[in-house]
């Protein structure tokens, strides 16, 4: 009787709770970054964040000091008469230096991902200083604990404010670049430092009002110090000072234990939302570092995932860039079942809809909207240029952003996103194309000259043709789902029927009509119809061959094939079902420009590339385009054993799967929304092992499951037991950091 009860409980747990058995603390410890020598740059340092505030720790180059940076992605300039890169940019804040009594000789650090804390030890000629730092998850604090041996008990902390000018301008001055130096740039006022009521203040006012406040205090007892820092930004008001002061004025040492517990609890609840384990432990370490980076960099109510995340430094790119960067940064949140992290992208569109309208010339504002190449976090930038009559008319950025919104809807099935944000935004984005379509004598619609990101201008530009076609198809789907009888439905149908085919030649996809792909180019924007849009896909005759030919030609011209070229190629090959090639290109990122802390540099720090690398892994393990769930669609042949739990798909399904010895041994699917469920798998004659669900073959390797909302099913092959998801074996651990 007890055995039957135990069996019943086991099956119930499998169906309702999943079948993952992981010692998360131990598993995540193997993903930690470890430094056996002290980092000295942003590209090497351990980093922490809570979605808006952030910090990183390193030895200050050429100084006998340890640097703790103060960052906040909400800190922006807001110049009302200057909407360009310089006037609406992110701003630096400042940093603390720990000045030891002796000379620094060596040190070590560890970024504990499970607790989102950095610990370390700095060794000097007079002793040691042990450090622990974290950015509290649900409150606005950077906390740094330092405990010294006797010889180092007189170490000190000092704050150094940064110059609050455009980082692009400051970077141009630093590297003596005429290209990025703006001659008529006017500096913001100087920082103001003072003490009051036991607190230390730095106020950084802006030319057009508002400013940034950093407030801190040190709780010191003998050889132990706790540095507590808060930061706030406001515009046009100056109440940031009051906010930061209020956060610190009554905070006592006894409160820190509660703050730390809340902080750790948040992270301990975050990681198990999904689980991935790979036999290649370096790639597994990389994957979990990106999951950590995502939640450190963006949250509801926090900042967008722009090029730097919260960790702003001198860079040519201190803005949100929309011709690729932001879109790529958010791709991993959907399949990773971390949809909350995608909501800042939804919110920024919803809250700044009027700014999108104002980004088009006034003559088009009645029914159109657009997104410049770069903006501030309110989507304000220089007006988008008019197709066909102005050079560099880059029109496709807003439709591409709308594709991210579509993914947020499809993976959640939250209809309010579709109705209130995506539909009205995409409708206006597509409307900005319609005046520039021309019909030829054969009745084919052509698009006037637009700009393919960073390459050049062309008529029938593939970047825009793909997004225009996808946009019209999506508007028709949305109209049907929402029961909207829009006056433009006939126009969208006409565009789909008459729009010209993608310009191509013997080498595959061109940039556009009469413009072949003939020079090295890091972007793959001319290939969006393959990925991520899947308008052309492997289920269509000859599309796979065209995809591979186009990718191979793109990569064949050396010189400007960079980091996100590799991650783009990896996902494109995964879309073609070519797992070995997908893995090869992902490893190309590791060999080329990936930094010791998994950050990335391209003329400056840009974090979208490693984040999109996490999406490459998702694309190898699970795809769900075209209304089908594809399990292990592009798994590399060398990954014989793979396990994942609760990855999410379009239609709001949670999928878990096990692969052992190169064979898929089990799949679990849970429906969160009751959408139609079609599975594609390499399992031979799968059977329902658990769950009251009918499995119906509908084609080679494809099955229909009558899953209702809230129901789960476990599939195996005959004779196989239900697999238990957990870490897979592999060589090595803790590959990142400096060792």
pLDDT digits (tens, 9 = 90+) for 500-514: 999 999 999 999 999
Burial status of residue 622 (CB atoms within 10 A of its CB: 0-12, 13-18, 19 or more): buried
The pLDDT score that the predictor gives to residue 562 is 87
pLDDT at residue 593 greater than cutoff 90: no
Residues 303 and 344 sit within 8 Å (Cβ to Cβ):
yes
Q: Are 739 and 34 in contact (CB under 8 A)?
A: yes
Q: What is the largest CA-CA distance in the chain?
A: 88
CATH number, domain at 247?
Answer: 2.70.98.50
Per 3-state DSSP, the chain is made up of helix, strand and coil in percentages (nearest 5) of: 35, 25, 40
Q: Which residue has the tokens 């964040």?
A: 49
Structural domain count, the chain: 1
* Spatial distance between the Cα atoms of 679 and 566, rounded to a whole number of angstroms: 29
How far does the chain reach from its first CA to its final CA, in angstroms?
55
Beta strands in 222-312 (DSSP E): 224-234, 275-277
Burial annotation 189-215 (CB, 10 A radius, 16+ → b, else e):
eebeeeeeeebbbbbbbbbeebbbbbb
Mean pLDDT, the chain, whole residue set: 94
Whether the Cβ atoms of residue 642 and residue 277 lie closer than 8 Å to each other: yes
pLDDT at 173: 93
Question: Is residue 516 domain-resident?
Answer: no
The values of phi and psi at residue 687, to 5°, are -125, 160
What is residue 178's predicted lDDT score, i.e. its pLDDT?
86
For the residues 688-692, what does the mean pLDDT come to? 94
Burial 269-301 (b: 16+ CB within 10 A, else e): ebbebbbbbbbbbbbbbbbbbbbbbbbbbbbee
Which run of H or E residues covers position 330? helix 325-335
372: Cβ–Cβ under 8 A, 6 or more apart, which residues? 322, 359, 381, 382, 383, 384, 394, 397
Q: Which helix (H) or strand (E) holds 549?
A: helix 543-556
pLDDT of residue 487: 97
Which whole-number Å values give the CA distances from 674 to 7, 550, 708, in the listed order?
28, 38, 5
User: pLDDT value at position 20?
Assistant: 60
Q: Retrieve residue 322's tokens.
A: 């929309």
**SS3 category, 64:** coil
β-strand 663-671 against 199-205: which pairing, if any? unpaired
What is the spatial distance between Cα 229 and Cα 96, in angstroms, rounded to a whole number?
Answer: 10
Q: What is the mean pLDDT of residues 29-41?
A: 98
**The pLDDT of residue 15:** 43
Helix axis angle for 397-412 and 325-335, nearest 10°, is: 10
Cα separation, 590 vs 565, whole angstroms: 12
Q: Is residue 39 part of a domain?
A: yes
Report residue 83's pLDDT band, with 50, 70 and 90 as the boundaries: confident
Write down the pLDDT at residue 3.
44
**Per-residue pLDDT at 42 exceeds 80:** yes
- Hey, what are 638's tokens? 């060398």
Are 701 and 442 in contact by the 8 Å Cβ rule? The answer is: no
Helix (H) or strand (E) segment spanning residue 263: helix 253-270
Task: Evaluate whether 610 touches 600 at the Cβ level (below 8 Å).
Answer: yes
Q: How many residues does the chain have?
A: 739
Q: What is the mean pLDDT of residues 10-34?
A: 73
**Looking at the domain assignment, is residue 279 inside a domain?**
no
Residue 339 within any structural domain of the chain? no
Residues 705 and 679: beta-carbon distance below 8 Å: yes
pLDDT tens digit sequence for 249-296? 989 888 999 999 999 999 999 999 999 999 999 999 999 999 999 999
DSSP reduced 3-state for 671: strand
In a domain, 263, yes or no: yes
Tracing tokens 């400042």 back to the chain, one arrives at 94
Comparing C-alpha atoms, which of 526, 529, 411, 418 is closest to residue 470?
Answer: 529
CA-only gyration radius of the chain, Å: 26
Residue in 582, 656, 576, 589 with CA at minimum distance from that of residue 622: 656
d(C-alpha 352, C-alpha 380), whole Å: 9
Chain segment 620-670, per-residue pLDDT in tens: 999 999 999 999 999 999 999 999 999 999 999 999 999 999 999 999 999
Burial of 673 (0-12, 13-18, 19+ CB in 10 A): middle
- Lowest average pLDDT, out of 46-50, 124-128, 218-222, goes to 218-222
Q: What pLDDT band is residue 8 in, cutting at 50, 70 and 90?
A: very low
pLDDT at 692 over 70: yes
Helix (H) or strand (E) holding 421, with range, is none
Q: How confident is the model over 304-334, as pLDDT tens digits?
A: 999 999 999 999 999 999 999 999 999 999 9
- φ, ψ of residue 226 in degrees (nearest 5): -120, 115
Residue 357 has pLDDT above 80, yes or no: yes
> Is residue 244 predicted with pLDDT exceeding 60?
yes
Percent of the chain residues topping a pLDDT of 70: 97
Q: What is the mean pLDDT of residues 436-451?
A: 97
Peptide bond into 532 cis (omega under 30): yes
Judge whether 143 lies within some domain.
yes
Q: Which helix (H) or strand (E) holds 680?
A: strand 677-680
Q: What is the pLDDT of residue 4?
A: 43
What percent of the chain clears pLDDT 90, i.e. is strictly above it? 89
Write down the H helix ranges in 448-537. Answer: 462-482, 489-498
Does residue 119 fall inside a structural domain? Answer: yes
Instruction: List the structure tokens of 28.
Output: 């995540």
Count of Cβ atoms closer than 10 Å to residue 731 Cβ = 8
Domain extent at residue 238: 31-272
The pLDDT confidence band at residue 605, using thresholds 50, 70 and 90, is confident
Residue 417 token pair: 């996103």
Is pLDDT at 10 greater than 80 in this prediction?
Answer: no
Report the pLDDT value the prediction gives residue 16, as an integer from 0 to 100: 41
CA trace torsion 150, 154, 155, 156 (10° rounding) = 160
Say if CB 120 and CB 109 are below 8 A apart: yes
Report if residue 261 sits inside a domain: yes
Tell me: pLDDT of 11 over 80: no
Which pLDDT does position 7 carry in this prediction?
41
Cα 221 from chain centre: 41
User: Residue 649: beta bridge partners?
Assistant: 653
Displacement of CA 430 from its chain's centroid (Å) = 25
Cβ(380)–Cβ(436) below 8 Å: no
Specify which residues 716 forms β-bridges with.
687
Nearest Cα to Cα of residue 198 among 213, 215, 214, 217: 217
Please report the DSSP string for 340-391 in residue order. Answer: GGGHHHHHHHHHTHHHHHHTS-GGGTTT-----SEE-TT---SPPPPTTTST
Which of helix, strand or coil describes residue 479?
Answer: helix
Residue 19 confidence (pLDDT): 52
108-117, 389-398, 528-537: lowest mean pLDDT where? 389-398
CB 134 within 8 A of CB 111: no
Indicate whether 13 pLDDT > 50: no
């Amino acid at each position: 009787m007890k055995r039957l009860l135990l069996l019943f409980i086991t099956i119930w747990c499998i169906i309702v709770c999943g079948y993952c058995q992981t010692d998360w603390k131990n598993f995540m410890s193997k993903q930690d970054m470890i430094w056996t020598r002290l980092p000295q740059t942003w590209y090497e340092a351990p980093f922490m964040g809570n979605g808006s505030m952030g910090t990183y720790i390193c030895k200050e180059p050429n100084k006998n000091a340890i640097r703790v940076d103060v960052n906040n992605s909400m800190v922006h300039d807001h110049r009302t008469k200057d909407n360009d890169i310089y006037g609406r940019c992110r701003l630096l804040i400042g940093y603390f230096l720990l000045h030891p009594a002796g000379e620094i000789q060596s040190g070590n650090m560890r970024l504990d991902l499970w607790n989102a804390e950095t610990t370390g030890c700095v060794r000097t000629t007079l002793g040691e200083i042990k450090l622990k730092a974290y950015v509290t998850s649900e409150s606005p604090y950077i906390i740094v604990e330092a405990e010294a041996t006797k010889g180092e008990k007189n170490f000190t902390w000092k704050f150094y404010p940064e110059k609050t000018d455009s980082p692009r301008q400051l970077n141009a001055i630093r590297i003596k670049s005429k290209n990025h130096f703006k001659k008529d740039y006017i500096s913001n006022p100087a920082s103001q430092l003072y003490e009051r009521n036991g607190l230390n203040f730095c106020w950084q006012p802006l030319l057009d009002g508002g400013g940034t406040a950093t407030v801190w205090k040190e709780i010191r007892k003998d050889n132990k110090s706790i540095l507590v820092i808060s930061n706030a930004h406001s515009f046009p008001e100056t109440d940031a000072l009051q906010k930061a002061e209020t956060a610190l004025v009554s905070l006592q040492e006894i409160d820190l234990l509660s703050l730390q517990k809340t902080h750790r609890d948040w992270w301990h609840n975050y990681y198990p939302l999904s689980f991935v384990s790979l036999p290649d432990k370096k790639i597994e370490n990389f994957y979990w570092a990106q999951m950590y980076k995502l939640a450190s960099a963006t949250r509801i109510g926090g900042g967008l995932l722009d090029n730097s995340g919260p960790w702003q430094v001198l860079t040519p790119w201190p803005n949100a860039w929309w011709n690729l960067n932001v879109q790529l940064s958010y791709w991993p949140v959907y399949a990773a079942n971390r949809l909350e992290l995608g909501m800042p992208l939804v919110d920024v569109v919803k809250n700044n809809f009027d700014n999108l309208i104002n980004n088009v010339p006034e003559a088009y504002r009645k029914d159109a909207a657009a997104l410049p190449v770069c903006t501030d976090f309110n989507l304000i930038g220089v007006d988008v240029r008019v197709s066909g009559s102005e050079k560099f008319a880059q029109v496709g950025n807003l439709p591409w952003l709308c594709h991210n919104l579509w993914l947020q809807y499809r993976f959640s099935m939250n209809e309010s996103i579709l109705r209130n944000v995506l539909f009205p935004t995409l409708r206006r984005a597509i409307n900005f194309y319609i005046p520039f379509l021309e019909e030829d004598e054969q009745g084919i619609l052509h698009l006037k000259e637009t700009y393919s990101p960073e390459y050049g201008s062309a008529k029938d530009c593939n970047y825009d043709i793909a997004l225009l076609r996808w946009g019209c198809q999506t508007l028709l789907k949305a109209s049907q789902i929402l029961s909207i009888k829009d006056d433009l439905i006939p126009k969208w149908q006409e565009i789909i029927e008459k729009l010209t085919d993608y310009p191509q030649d013997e080498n595959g996809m061109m940039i556009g009509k009469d413009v072949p792909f003939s020079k090295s180019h890091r972007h793959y924007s001319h290939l969006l119809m393959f990925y991520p849009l899947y308008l052309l896909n492997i289920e269509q005759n000859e599309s796979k061959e065209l995809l591979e030919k186009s990718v191979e030609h793109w990569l064949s011209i050396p010189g400007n094939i960079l980091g996100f070229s590799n991650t783009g190629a990896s996902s494109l090959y995964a879309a073609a079902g070519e797992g070995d090639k997908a893995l090869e290109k992902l490893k190309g990122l590791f060999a080329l420009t990936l930094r010791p802390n998994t950050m990335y540099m391209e003329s400056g720090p840009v974090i979208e590339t490693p984040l999109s690398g996490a999406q490459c892994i998702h694309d190898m393990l699970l795809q769900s385009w075209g209304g089908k769930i594809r399990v292990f669609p592009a798994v590399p042949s060398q990954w014989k054993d793979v396990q994942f739990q609760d990855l999410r798909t379009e239609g709001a399904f949670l999928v878990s799967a096990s692969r052992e010895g190169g064979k898929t041994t089990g799949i679990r699917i849970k429906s969160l929304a009751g959408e139609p469920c079609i599975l594609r798998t390499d399992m031979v004659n799968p059977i329902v092992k658990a769950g009251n669900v009918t499995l119906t073959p509908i084609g080679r390797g494809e099955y229909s499951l009558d899953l209702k909302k809230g129901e789960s099913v476990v599939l195996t092959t005959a004779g196989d037991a239900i697999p238990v998801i957990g870490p897979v074996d592999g060589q090595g651990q803790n590959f990142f950091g400096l060792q």
